[in-house]
Structure 1
């Protein structure tokens, strides 16, 4: 197991104007099938990775807010999503109830072969909110009705 403080992942928006860093191992890393993620991302599911607030930092040029815009999720106003003013891509979400940041696997930095750098320290361990899935996923990961270990396990 790597030293938690030595694990650093960086990510970005599409145009690279927004950059962030997360340090340490995630609290949760899962493929999320909830309808909110499906709608926000126009995808059947996403790779969501959660960190304590102390592990997240913006790393693009300051003042950071000049390049960032945000919106609060109307049905969950404690969830604020941050996006790039230039390309419009949402890059992170902050949950004020849990004091956690979420980032998405598809935006993490990659190596020359297109693989996410340090994938073994951040790869998903489950499928969450699987009851609202759009497609079945045939893998060995657990499938949960809500969060992994906090809801009913469906399979896997």
Structure 2
């Protein structure tokens, strides 16, 4: 997601930009965003079996996911993600918007679009709980980036292991902006995956 750099911030990459839209959504269609996934009300038959549930810190916003596994999971080290999450990197799991449905609190969401420098709903946008300010997702034009930390896992070891395996990151992106080395053996890209240079664990370009 591109970020407004007026205050010295670095771009927030649109890491889901390469995924095709399932909604045939145009920019002008943003006026009707409450009537389309993930904000629209759908019957259980329309949505399908629930595979995962998630919520914000205070529990006023809850949601469910109908997809077993994300399209892809990544660690993003861009400066924008570091600042907005207050963390060394962002852990993002990519889903189609139709995979997500809010079950409570959709009317209590806040938005911030760094591209448009506005708190109005303009894509791409970051989505938060208005009460506890927990990040809910990054919504792009084609997909949404969910945060596995907010997706519930049972306390017993077997389900916890399934959760870990399901959302295991496949790669690192914007590793050149990292604040610490992560020697985990996963592919590390200098920018967007498959569109930039591969780096080694210490951030050197691979030959």
Q: Shorter-chain-normalised TM-score: which range? A: 0.7 to 0.9
Q: Are 2:112 and 1:68 aligned?
A: no
Contact 2:51 2:64 in 1 (8 A): yes
Q: Rg bigger for which structure?
A: 2
- Distance in 2 (CA, whole Å) between partners of 1:48 and 1:27 is 11
Task: Give the alignment of 1:5-154 within 5 angstroms.
Answer: 8-24=51-67, 25-60=69-104, 64-65=106-107, 67-74=108-115, 78-96=123-141, 99-112=142-155, 115=160, 118-154=163-199
Structure with the higher strand share, 1 or 2: 1
**Counterparts of 1:58 and 1:8 in 2: how far apart (Å)?**
14
Q: Which runs of 4+ in 1 moved over 4 A?
A: none
Deviates more, 1:79-88 or 1:143-152: 143-152
Size of the aligned set, in residue pairs, is 147
Offset at residue 75 of structure 1 (A): 6.1
Structure 1, gaps ≥5 residues long: none
Whether the aligned pair in 1 keeps the contact of 2:54 and 2:152 (CA below 8 Å) is yes
TM score, norm. by length of structure 2: 0.63
Distance 1:122 1:129 in 2: 19
Give the structure-1-normalised TM-score: 0.82
Structure 2, unmatched stretches of 5+, are 1-47, 202-207
User: In proportion to residue count, which structure has more helix?
Assistant: 2
